C-alpha cells in the first residue's frame, strides 16, 4: 500500500497534464461551436457544403457523434490548412498508441490492472480527447500496475506481450484505424471524407473486438513460426507509416512546426479557431504524457537494476527523436527498447539488486 502511495505522489504530473488538456480543449465550447452544424445537419464553409449523414442508425450514437463530424471537418475537408496538416499526422499517430496499449493489456502480469482495459480508455479518448484520457490511464498504470522489478521476477510467459493471439493486431489497427484516417483526408470527394469520419469514430471498439475474436481464432491454429517475429515486424511497419506521414508533413507543410502543433495561449472563438486549438492541445497532452510514461518506465528499470544511468539519459532524449521521425514512431521505438530489456531480464530467483534513490 505504501509503495502505491509513493507511486501516486510521483505520478502527479500526469494528472496536471490531464487537467491542462481538459481545460484547454474546453469540450463545452467545442460542442457549442459544432451545435449549429449538427442541428442543421449540414456542414457548410467557403467553397463547399456537405449534408451530415446518420451513420449508425442508432439515435444515441448518431446524436453523440454528429457534432464531432463537424469539428473534424475543419481539418478533414481542409478549410483550415493548419488543422489539416496537424490533425492528419496526429490521428495517424494514434495507431501506435492504440496498438501498444492493447499489447500491454495482454501481458500476464498486467491482468486486472488498468492496463487490462485499453479499449475502454481508448473509447473514452474518442469522446473526451486522448490528451485528457491518456495521462489518467498512464497514472493508473503506474500506481496499480506491476513495477519493473516484479516484472523481471515474473516467469517469461507472464512478462511477454508477444502472444499468438496478438498476431493480427497490427493489421487490424492498420485496417480499422490507419486506413480510415487516410479515408478521412485523402479522397477528392468530401462526402467520402465525411463517411470515413463517421466510420472512424468507434474504431477503438472495433479494434478491440476484432483483436479478441480473431486472436481466439488464431489461437486455435498451430503456427510454425514465432508470433514474436511477425508481430515485431508488423509493429515496425506501423511505425514506418507514422514516420512517413511525419516526414512528409515536415517536408511539404507551408507552416512551421510551432504553428502546426502549439496551441494559442488565449481564447479562440468559432469552429475553426477553437477546434484547431483544442486538437493541438489534445496532441500535445497525449504525447507529453506518453513520453513522460516512457521516462518513468526507464527510471523504473533503473531502480530495478535492469539498466544503467545512460539509459535514463537516452529516455530523456526520446522527445528529440520526434523531430526526425515523429511522435508515433518514437513511441514505438522507446516502448520496444523497454520491452526488449524486460524480455531479456533474468527470471525469478536471479533478479538483480534493486537501487534506491533514498
Tell me the per-residue pLDDT of 165-206, one tens digit each, with 9 for 90 and over.
888 999 999 999 999 999 999 999 999 999 999 999 999 999
29 — pLDDT class (breaks 50, 70, 90): very high
Distance CA 336, CA 341 (A): 9
The predicted pLDDT at position 319 comes to: 78
The predicted pLDDT at position 343 comes to: 83
Determine what percent of the chain is predicted with pLDDT higher than 90: 72
For 126, 175, 184, 215, 353, the CA distances from 201, given in Å and listed in that order, are 7, 14, 11, 23, 47
Mean pLDDT over the full length of the chain: 91
Distance CA 358, CA 355 (A): 9
The predicted pLDDT at position 354 comes to: 53
The predicted pLDDT at position 355 comes to: 52
Higher pLDDT, 4 or 63: 63
User: What digits encode the pLDDT tens for the residues 195-216?
Assistant: 999 999 999 999 999 999 998 8
Q: CB of 218 within 8 A of CB of 164?
A: yes
The predicted pLDDT at position 349 comes to: 45
Q: CB of 259 within 8 A of CB of 25?
A: no
Q: CB of 1 within 8 A of CB of 34?
A: no
Distance CA 315, CA 338 (A): 10
Alpha helices (H) along the chain: 2-10, 12-25, 27-40, 59-76, 81-92, 94-105, 118-128, 130-144, 148-152, 156-159, 169-173, 179-185, 190-201, 203-219, 227-252, 257-261, 270-303, 309-325, 327-344
The predicted pLDDT at position 357 comes to: 40
The predicted pLDDT at position 358 comes to: 37
Q: CB of 50 within 8 A of CB of 77?
A: yes
Is the pLDDT at 266 greater than 80, yes or no? yes
Question: Quick one: average pLDDT of 8-35?
Answer: 96
The predicted pLDDT at position 353 comes to: 52
Question: Quick one: average pLDDT of 303-331?
Answer: 87
For 17, 62, 77, 150, the CA distances from 189, given in Å and listed in that order, are 37, 22, 9, 53
Amino acid at each position: 500500500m505504501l509503495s502505491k502511495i509513493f507511486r501516486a505522489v510521483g505520478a502527479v504530473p500526469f494528472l496536471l497534464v490531464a487537467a491542462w488538456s481538459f481545460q484547454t480543449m474546453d469540450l463545452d465550447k467545442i460542442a457549442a461551436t459544432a451545435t449549429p452544424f449538427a442541428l442543421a445537419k449540414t456542414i457548410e464553409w467557403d467553397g463547399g457544403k456537405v449534408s451530415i449523414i446518420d451513420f449508425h442508425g442508432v439515435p444515441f450514437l448518431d446524436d453523440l457523434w454528429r457534432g464531432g463530424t463537424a469539428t473534424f471537418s475543419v481539418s478533414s475537408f481542409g478549410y483550415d490548412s493548419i488543422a489539416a496538416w496537424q490533425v492528419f499526422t496526429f490521428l495517424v499517430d494514434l495507431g501506435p498508441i492504440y496498438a501498444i496499449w492493447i499489447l500491454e493489456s495482454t501481458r500476464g502480469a498486467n491482468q486486472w490492472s488498468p492496463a487490462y482495459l485499453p479499449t475502454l480508455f481508448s473509447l473514452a479518448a474518442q469522446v473526451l480527447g486522448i490528451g485528457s484520457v491518456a495521462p489518467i490511464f498512464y497514472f493508473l498504470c503506474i500506481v496499480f500496475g506491476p513495477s519493473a522489478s516484479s516484472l523481471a521476477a515474473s516467469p517469461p510467459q507472464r512478462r511477454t506481450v508477444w502472444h499468438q493471439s496478438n498476431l493480427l493486431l497490427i493489421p487490424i489497427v492498420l485496417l480499422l484505424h490507419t486506413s480510415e484516417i487516410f479515408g478521412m483526408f485523402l479522397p477528392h470527394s468530401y462526402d467520402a471524407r465525411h463517411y470515413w469520419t463517421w466510420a472512424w469514430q468507434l474504431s477503438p471498439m472495433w479494434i478491440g473486438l476484432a483483436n479478441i475474436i480473431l486472436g481466439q481464432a488464431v489461437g486455435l491454429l498451430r503456427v510454425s513460426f514465432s508470433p514474436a517475429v511477425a508481430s515485431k515486424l508488423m509493429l515496425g511497419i506501423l511505425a514506418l507509416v507514422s514516420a512517413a506521414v511525419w516526414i512528409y508533413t515536415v517536408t511539404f507543410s507551408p507552416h512551421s512546426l510551432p504553428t502546426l502543433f502549439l496551441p494559442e495561449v488565449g481564447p479562440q472563438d468559432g469552429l475553426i479557431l477553437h477546434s484547431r486549438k483544442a486538437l493541438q492541445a489534445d496532441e500535445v497532452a497525449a504525447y507529453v504524457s506518453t513520453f513522460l510514461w516512457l521516462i518513468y518506465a526507464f527510471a523504473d528499470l533503473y531502480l530495478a537494476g535492469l539498466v544503467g544511468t545512460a539509459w535514463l539519459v537516452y529516455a530523456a532524449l526520446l522527445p528529440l527523436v520526434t523531430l526526425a521521425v515523429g511522435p508515433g514512431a518514437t513511441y514505438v521505438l522507446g516502448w520496444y527498447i523497454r520491452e526488449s530489456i524486460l524480455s531479456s531480464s533474468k527470471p525469478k530467483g536471479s533478479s538483480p539488486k534493486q537501487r534506491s534513490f533514498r
